[in-house]
């Protein structure tokens, strides 16, 4: 028995073959990105390129599907690869532990991928990555804000221009416009009003593996919305890959 036997019932042998020969990039392995990437592994995607600069921290454990006491302090790309190979030993994982912003955005894009998933939550890197993907005419989907929310049923999938009630989407639209980017593209967003962030509390004695980089306001989170958004993204990606296979 293969781990894809149940998936075969849904998409058939040709669908499995298409996914096995596909390559997808996931930028950001937070609550959204990790869930998306693991879904892609479980669906049978053959090659996944993941990009993230951070390590698993205690504060990740309430929502990160690759976050366990055994992975604390481990780079997220490594934690993801270890879990992915436990699901499918044959999956090809390309892990890039990289932090980028501004002009460096285009340099991290793996242009050989069939589809890209932007799951970055920091505004400046996110906007520059999206601008690079648009300029390169890449096929991609992006996740907007999921922090501070409790209701996964309020998630929506549609064009960026149609987003409402999402502060991150509003900021992304404004920044992209300033960069001269007018292209519309699919995003997952929620119009649920998010809880307000709070000042960060640094307690190194309680968290020996703190989040690295510049400390931002601390966003609230729960397991539900980020992971559900990751499922939205992965489902969209798999369906688009299968649509391309059907048209070929």
Using DSSP, state whether 140 is helix, strand or coil: strand
pLDDT exceeds 70 at position 62: yes
Beta-carbon contacts of 137 under 8 Å, excluding residues fewer than 6 positions away, are none
Residue 10 binned pLDDT confidence (cut-offs 50, 70, 90): very high
Residue 1 binned pLDDT confidence (cut-offs 50, 70, 90): confident
What pTM did the predictor assign? 0.92
Token digits of residue 193: 């009003």
Q: What is the pLDDT of residue 204?
A: 59
5-247 fold: Rossmann fold (3.40.50)
How many C-beta atoms surround the C-beta of residue 104 within 10 A?
14
Domain residue ranges of the chain, discontinuous segments joined by +: 5-247
CB 64 within 8 A of CB 30: yes
Residue 130 binned pLDDT confidence (cut-offs 50, 70, 90): very high
**Of residues 222, 220, 30, 211, the one with CA closest to residue 117:** 30
CB 89 within 8 A of CB 45: no
């Amino acid at each position: 028995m293969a781990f894809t036997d149940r998936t075969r019932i849904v998409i058939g042998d040709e669908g499995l073959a298409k996914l096995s020969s596909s390559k997808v990039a996931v930028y950001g392995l937070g609550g959204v990105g990790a869930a998306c990437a693991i879904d892609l592994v479980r669906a049978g995607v053959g090659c996944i390129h993941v990009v993230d600069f951070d390590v698993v921290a205690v504060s990740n454990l309430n929502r990160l599907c690759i976050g366990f006491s055994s992975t604390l302090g481990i780079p997220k790309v490594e934690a993801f690869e270890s879990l992915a190979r436990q699901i499918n030993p044959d999956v090809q994982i390309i892990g890039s532990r990289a932090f980028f912003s501004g002009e460096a955005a285009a340099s991290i894009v793996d242009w050989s991928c069939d589809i890209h998933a932007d799951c970055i939550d920091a505004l400046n890197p996110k906007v520059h990555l999206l601008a690079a993907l648009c300029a390169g005419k890449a096929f991609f989907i992006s996740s907007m804000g999921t922090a501070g929310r409790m209701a996964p049923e309020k998630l929506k999938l549609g064009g960026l221009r149609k987003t409402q009630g999402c502060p991150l989407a509003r900021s992304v639209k404004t920044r992209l416009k300033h960069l001269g980017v007018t292209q519309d593209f699919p995003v997952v967003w929620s119009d649920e009003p998010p809880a307000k962030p709070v000042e960060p509390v640094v307690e190194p004695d309680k968290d020996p593996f703190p989040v690295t980089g510049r400390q931002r306001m601390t966003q609230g989170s729960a397991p539900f919305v980020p992971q559900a958004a990751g499922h939205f993204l992965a489902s969209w990606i798999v369906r688009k890959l299968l649509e391309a296979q059907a048209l070929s």
